[in-house]
């Protein structure tokens, strides 16, 4: 079935793990001269040496009228799985949330609500080099602080784990970049950490200024803070790790956690088949695969067929051959299997600009991460999403798909 509101919130909560907070300091070395941040090469190389960690995480989320603070035990192990690291997070306070668990392991994610004794399982997307990309992002921050350059926001995968309704996804004008200020070093959780502040250089409908304090040995965030402003709402998310142990000795059963036997378990079933050959992808797909006119320099990368409990989705990914930033373009076609699913997912993206695609009403979105357009042909929903294309280009791709 399509995710309920509770499940959608759980999925979003599972993804929201960036975070920490600090105060600014004047960065000076021992001679009173401005201190220099580490080099990007040093950051990237050291980050890759991290094998595992255990810690207590204290996280605070503040909105205009609410404050929520949680304390949780966290464990992380870096492996060779292309889905990235394995993570385990169990809330220990406040009492109302005690025992809640989010576990990323192998091919699935499990979200457990202890007070309701309810667990949700859903498939974990394959995002190659996801964890390594975090190290590259921190390296770019360090280099930007050294060179006085701006930095673009870190990327997110253009593919959904499940066909989300997108009703809660904030959109707006893109932030052109972030200025990076080096804050020097500070002792965080008994370890030396380098501080960086990222500030948006342009006004936008959605901004996400942040600070990061990266461990001086592994360059993993020990403390961070993010402030996001959208319309009349402001969100402050802070996180700090305490009692941190890097390269922790984790036993083999650390990530083998399962919900209690009395818990109700719902599985958001999404079987996924991936293809490296477009010809094989088109032959095997259970419905026609769009053949868009993609911009020069983009080439077929992967095809995916997602077979859910009551829907089928085909996604074609294209990668730019002209840059090293991993620019991606994804074209998705989603079809519900019955009238009930179609009625539950009847509306297109609820936020964004109204546009027209092949004579049909559509919605165009721009965030700091990507541009996207979505439209419908009957019950079939189409989405074109790109990480580095402007509005005109995205709309041209959409028009070439039409109702194919």
The predicted-structure confidence for 131-157, as pLDDT tens digits, reads as follows 657 888 899 999 999 998 888 765 443
Q: 392: helix, coil or strand?
A: helix
CA atoms within 13 A of residue 225's CA, in its CB half-sphere: 13
User: pLDDT higher for 2 or 35?
Assistant: 35
The predicted-structure confidence for 327-360, as pLDDT tens digits, reads as follows 788 899 998 876 544 444 544 454 567 899 999 9
Beta bridge partners of 54: 75, 245
For residues 238 and 19, the answer to whether their CB atoms sit within 8 Å is yes
Q: What is the mean pLDDT of residues 209-224?
A: 95
pLDDT given for residue 53 in this prediction: 95
Average per-residue pLDDT in the chain?
77
pLDDT given for residue 211 in this prediction: 94
What's 5-246's CATH class?
Answer: mainly beta
Q: What is the mean pLDDT of residues 228-245?
A: 85
User: pLDDT higher for 134 or 210?
Assistant: 210
What are the residue boundaries of the structural domains of the chain, listed by start?
Answer: 5-246, 269-401
pLDDT given for residue 346 in this prediction: 45
pLDDT given for residue 23 in this prediction: 30
Domain 5-246 identical in fold to domain 269-401: no
Residues 6 or more apart from 171 whose CB is under 8 A from it?
205, 206, 349, 351, 352, 365, 366, 367
Task: Copy the structure tokens of residue 21.
Answer: 């907070």
pLDDT given for residue 336 in this prediction: 85
Domain 269-401, classified CATH 3.30.390, yes or no? no
Residue 364 pLDDT > 90: no
Confidence of residue 369 (pLDDT cuts 50, 70, 90): low
Q: What is the mean pLDDT of residues 79-103?
A: 84
Cis before residue 94, ω within 30 degrees of 0? Answer: yes
Least confident of 162-171, 196-205, 216-225, 327-336: 162-171
Residue 24 pLDDT > 50: no
pLDDT given for residue 46 in this prediction: 95
């Amino acid at each position: 079935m399509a995710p309920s509101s509770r499940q959608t919130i759980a999925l979003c909560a599972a993804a929201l793990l960036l975070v920490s907070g600090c105060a600014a300091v004047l960065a000076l070395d021992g001679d009173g001269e401005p201190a220099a941040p580490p080099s990007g090469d040093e950051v990237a190389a050291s980050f890759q040496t991290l094998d595992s960690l255990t810690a207590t995480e204290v996280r605070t989320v503040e909105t205009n009228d609410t404050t929520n603070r949680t304390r949780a035990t966290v464990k992380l192990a870096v492996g060779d799985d292309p889905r990235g690291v394995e993570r385990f997070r169990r809330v220990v306070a406040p009492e109302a949330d005690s025992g809640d668990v989010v576990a990323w392991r192998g091919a699935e994610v499990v979200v457990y609500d202890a007070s309701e004794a309810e667990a949700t399982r859903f498939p974990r997307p394959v995002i190659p080099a996801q964890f390594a990309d975090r190290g590259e992002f921190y390296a770019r921050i360090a280099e930007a602080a050294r060179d006085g350059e701006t930095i673009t926001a870190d990327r997110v995968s253009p593919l959904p784990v499940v066909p989300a309704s997108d009703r809660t996804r904030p959109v707006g004008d893109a932030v052109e970049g972030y200025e990076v200020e080096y804050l020097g070093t500070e002792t965080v959780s008994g370890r030396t950490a380098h501080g960086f502040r990222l500030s948006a250089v342009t006004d936008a409908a959605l901004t996400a200024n942040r600070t990061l304090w990266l461990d001086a040995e592994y360059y993993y965030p020990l403390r961070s803070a993010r402030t996001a402003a959208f319309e009349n709402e402001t969100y402050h998310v802070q996180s700090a790790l305490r009692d941190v142990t890097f390269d922790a000795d984790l036993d083999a059963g650390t990530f083998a956690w399962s919900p209690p036997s009395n818990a109700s378990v719902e599985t958001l079933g999404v079987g996924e088949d991936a293809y490296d050959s477009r010809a094989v992808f088109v032959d095997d797909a259970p419905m026609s695969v769009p053949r868009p006119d993609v911009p020069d320099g983009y080439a077929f990368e992967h095809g995916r067929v997602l077979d859910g409990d009551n829907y089928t989705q085909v996604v074609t990914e294209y990668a730019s051959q002209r840059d090293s930033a991993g620019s991606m373009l994804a074209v998705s076609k989603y079809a519900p299997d019955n009238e009930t699913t179609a009625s539950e997912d009847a509306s297109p993206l609820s936020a964004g600009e109204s546009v027209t695609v092949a004579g049909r009403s559509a919605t165009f979105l721009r965030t700091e991460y990507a541009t996207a357009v979505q439209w419908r042909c009957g019950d079939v929903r189409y989405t074109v999403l790109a990480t580095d294309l402007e509005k005109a280009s995205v709309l041209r791709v959409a028009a070439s798909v039409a109702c194919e």
